Amino acid sequence: MLSKFFYTAALTALTSSFFTVPATAQTAPAAALTRADDTVLEMGQAFRRGDKTRLTALLPQVRGHVLEPWAAYWELNSRLNEASQQEVQAFLARYAGSYQEDRLRNDWLLLLGDRRDWTTFAAEHPQFRMGDDRDVRCYAWLIEHVKKGPDGTGALADNVKKNWYAQRDADGGCRAAAERLLASKQLAPLDIWRKARLSIENNRPRPTRDAVEMVSPESMALLAIIQANPSQFLTDKKLAFTKVRKELITLALVKLAATDPDAAAKFLAHKWGFQLSSEERNWVWGVIGKQSAIRFSSPGSDPLAYFDKVSADSDLTDEMLGWKTRAALRAGNQPRWALVLSSINAMSGDTRQDPTWIYWKARALLAATPTPTAPKRAEALALYQSIASVRGFYEQLALEELGQLITVPARPAALSNEEKEAARSNASLQRATHAIAIGLRSEGVREWNYATNLAQTGGMGERELLAAAQLACDRAIWDRCINTSDRTQGDMDFAQRFPLPFRDAVIKRSRDIGLDPAYVYGLIRQESRFVMEARSGVGASGLMQIMPATARETARYIGLTGFTANQLNDRDTNITIGTAYLKRALDDFGGSMAMAAAAYNAGPGRPRNWRNGPQLEAAIWAENVPFNETRDYVKKVLSNTTNYAAVLTGQPQSLKARLGMIGPREASAPPPDDKMP
């Protein structure tokens, strides 16, 4: 059961003007569509189905419309492959400074790169403001390499490799750049094989084939066997131990480890390990350890036993080291703090700056020895201080390690009329809000992000971000309100970052069924950002992102008769069913907010398995959740909840108090509700 701590009265906040949202701003007003709006929407549909003829016919009808740049972008993009350079330049000039100009330039640069038109590419690339396309970056680096030759391109090769490794799917620019750098010996064959290893582990056949074909085209038939049946390949006794064959054996072991780490470990220990180089063995043991750690509930698996076989952590990726750290945290009844510390220290500099590893390194410095030295205590203190704030999960935990609780920051100075007017008159924000209002949410969100993202435009300071966020809040575009306000680094406006839409409905329903309203708000903020029409890729709907099957079962459970799935679009019904489901999860997991949040995101069966093992701090348990999405979700929901509790109560709050401990269900505890979906 939740303790009394979580039920502090929210009456003060309910009457406070600081966090009050006007009733008229609770939901975004429905836009009255004009004929031109309808034409723009029709053009959006024609673009998605690739109807170039219809786009060209409709474009003259939307000249002068606020969303004309979008309509013109769709029309030209649909036929960009056959468009002349003059047409492209005319578009870029007509819509200069807009998101659509930069978006089309991105598309044009990719096409120029594919065509190997380096002269035109080099002329256009300096005007590309977003700079966020990895393939475009790699094409630019390739041109730089061609200009400079093999001298002085070490940093360039590192940049290409980093971007290429980060790409999930098949690519053009980074592959072409890597191939060129391989030919000039700026990249080694091992760099290419490592790309193949990363791709095959994550079941990405095309990038795997591209990498192997680049470094060993004669091996494609063997790669096909590995992709289809790695065990069959590994049982072949006739394999010749050339360097290429060893790399193929490594790929087969990595492929097998992704689905059966214990089987891969047997092959490596008893058959192939002595044939591989130390780098190859370390990589495979790292993959086996990582995959075993992800499957920590498997009986008999010991991830650290596999990681202990690695002779040099420098051969492991940051992702492998992250899972080694997580496995060390959940080892037995006491974390292996020395191993936590050494694993984090082996990570790259960028990864070590993540608040996750800063926090755990500080903990390890203090816990690795019974009496930490004064320098280690000072280092741990400095690490905590470097991240301590109310911004996120580990930032809040660091704040509490320094003896402080989570409180609402002082609100920034009120926005002036001039600052508000500047946001209202921003052409890109006008297009974004109009697009969202008529149902083009994806386009509106992209345009909004372009206008407000400091990295893209360099044009918005913190006060401008606050003004843009307030514009979104005033128009009940809650996701842009929250995300834009979240970008400020100095002033933090919690009225924007943690708004209270639908306040009466959420708080009344939560309190009626014994839920902490802050927990419900923290979950909704993460699920939908209060966008009523939100739809996930798997069919979850509404504020609380409920799947239809879950909704039907929950409706039966609470006696809601006559329920149909389309009722999930109704705000109050969505809140009623979502809170009922969350309450069942919370009761099923003994009041653990972390486990209930995991159940809400990943289904209740998985957290029941993940709780097996030693009793752990909930922070350690959450960090070991095997799904990246669910791990991130749990931490954000709990962090949101703590901040919302500070908002609702006006009192200092503790994230640690909400976390507690997690372990196997006690034998005397009642069984879980097996009917829970």
Three-state secondary structure readout of 608-657:
HHHCCCCCEEHHHHHHCCCCHHHHHHHHHHHHHHHHHHHHHHCCCECHHH
Q: Within the chain, what is the greatest distance between any pair of CA atoms?
A: 79
Q: Is there a single domain that holds both residue 579 and residue 490?
A: no
* Domain stop point among 497, 529, 559: 497
Q: Take residue 2 and report the two structure tokens written for it.
A: 């939740």
* Domain stop point among 477, 497, 517: 497
For the chain, the straight-line distance linking the first and the last C-alpha, in angstroms and rounded, comes to 21
Q: For the residues 405-412, what does the mean pLDDT come to?
A: 97
Q: Which of 115-124, 185-194, 495-504, 659-668 has the lowest mean pLDDT?
A: 659-668
Q: What is the dihedral of CA 107, 113, 118, 122, to 10 degrees?
A: 40
Residue type, 126: P
Q: Is there a single domain that holds both residue 518 and residue 652?
A: yes
Asked whether residue 47 is assigned to any structural domain, the reply reads no
From the CB of residue 491, how many other CB atoms can be counted at a distance below 10 Å?
15
Q: For the residues 574-589, what does the mean pLDDT come to?
A: 96
Asked whether residue 109 is assigned to any structural domain, the reply reads no
- pLDDT confidence of residue 28: 52
Asked whether residue 407 is assigned to any structural domain, the reply reads no
- d(CA 657, CA 637) in angstroms, rounded, equals 15
Q: Which candidate, 581, 590, 523, 524, places its Cα nearest to that of 556?
A: 581
Long-range contacts of 583-586 (CB under 8 A, 24+ apart): 583/513, 583/514, 583/515, 584/554, 584/557, 584/673, 584/676, 585/676, 586/2, 586/515
Percentage of the chain lying above the pLDDT 90 cut: 79
Residue 527 annotated to the active site: yes
- d(CA 176, CA 192) in angstroms, rounded, equals 12
Q: Is there a single domain that holds both residue 238 and residue 290?
A: yes
Q: Which candidate, 672, 554, 553, places its Cα nearest to that of 611?
A: 672
Q: Is there a single domain that holds both residue 531 and residue 425?
A: no
CATH of the domain at 625: 1.10.530.10
Residue type, 259: T
What DSSP line would sit under 333-392, residue for residue?
Answer: TS--HHHHHHHHHTS-HHHHTSHHHHHHHHHHHHHSSSS--HHHHHHHHHHHHHH-SSSS
Q: Which candidate, 52, 54, 46, 118, places its Cα nearest to that of 82?
A: 52
Q: How confident is the model at residue 6 (pLDDT cuts 50, 70, 90)?
A: very low
Q: For the residues 295-323, what does the mean pLDDT come to?
A: 88
Asked whether residue 331 is assigned to any structural domain, the reply reads no
- pLDDT confidence of residue 22: 36
**pLDDT by residue (tens digit) across 594-646?**
999 999 999 999 998 888 778 899 999 999 999 999 999 999 999 999 999 99
Q: Is there a single domain that holds both residue 209 and residue 291?
A: yes
Q: Is there a single domain that holds both residue 302 and residue 439?
A: no
Q: Is the pLDDT of residue 14 over 70?
A: no
Report the length, in residues, of the chain: 677
Q: Which of 210-224, 420-434, 603-617 has the lowest mean pLDDT?
A: 603-617
Q: What single DSSP character describes residue 219?
A: G
Number of domains in the chain: 3
Asked whether residue 186 is assigned to any structural domain, the reply reads no
**pLDDT by residue (tens digit) across 101-150?**
999 999 999 999 999 999 999 999 999 998 889 999 999 999 988 887 66
Q: Is the pLDDT of residue 5 over 60?
A: no
Give the residue numbers spanning the domain of 608. 4-16+500-662
Q: Take residue 455 and report the two structure tokens written for it.
A: 């990295």
Sign of CA dihedral 522, 525, 527, 530: positive
Q: Is the pLDDT of residue 507 over 60?
A: yes
Q: Is there a single domain that holds both residue 651 and residue 633?
A: yes
Asked whether residue 285 is assigned to any structural domain, the reply reads yes
**pLDDT by residue (tens digit) across 468-485?**
999 999 999 999 999 999
Q: Which candidate, 350, 224, 339, 338, places its Cα nearest to that of 293?
A: 339
Q: How confident is the model at residue 94 (pLDDT cuts 50, 70, 90)?
A: very high
Backbone angles phi, psi at 414, to 5 degrees: -60, 145
Q: Which candidate, 130, 98, 127, places its Cα nearest to that of 427?
A: 98
| Candidate list 101, 400, 527, 623, residue with the active-site label | 527
Q: Is there a single domain that holds both residue 209 and residue 242?
A: yes
Q: Is the pLDDT of residue 677 over 90?
A: no
* Domain stop point among 282, 316, 350: 316
Q: Take residue 65 and report the two structure tokens written for it.
A: 């419309």
Q: Is there a single domain that holds both residue 493 and residue 539?
A: no
Q: What single DSSP character describes residue 146?
A: H
- pLDDT confidence of residue 533: 84
DSSP reduced 3-state for 494: helix
From the CB of residue 266, how many other CB atoms can be counted at a distance below 10 Å?
13
DSSP reduced 3-state for 406: strand
Q: For the residues 33-60, what does the mean pLDDT come to?
A: 97
Percentage of the chain lying above the pLDDT 70 cut: 90
Q: Is there a single domain that holds both residue 485 and residue 506?
A: no
Residue type, 404: Q
- d(CA 631, CA 596) in angstroms, rounded, equals 12
Q: Is the pLDDT of residue 25 over 60?
A: no
Q: Is there a single domain that holds both residue 510 and residue 475?
A: no
Asked whether residue 139 is assigned to any structural domain, the reply reads no
Q: Is there a single domain that holds both residue 520 and residue 573?
A: yes
Q: Kind of pairing, strands 616-617 and 661-662?
A: antiparallel
**pLDDT by residue (tens digit) across 534-561?**
777 777 889 999 999 999 999 999 999 8
Asked whether residue 639 is assigned to any structural domain, the reply reads yes
Question: Do residues 43 and 27 make contact, with C-beta atoms less than 8 angstroms apart?
Answer: no
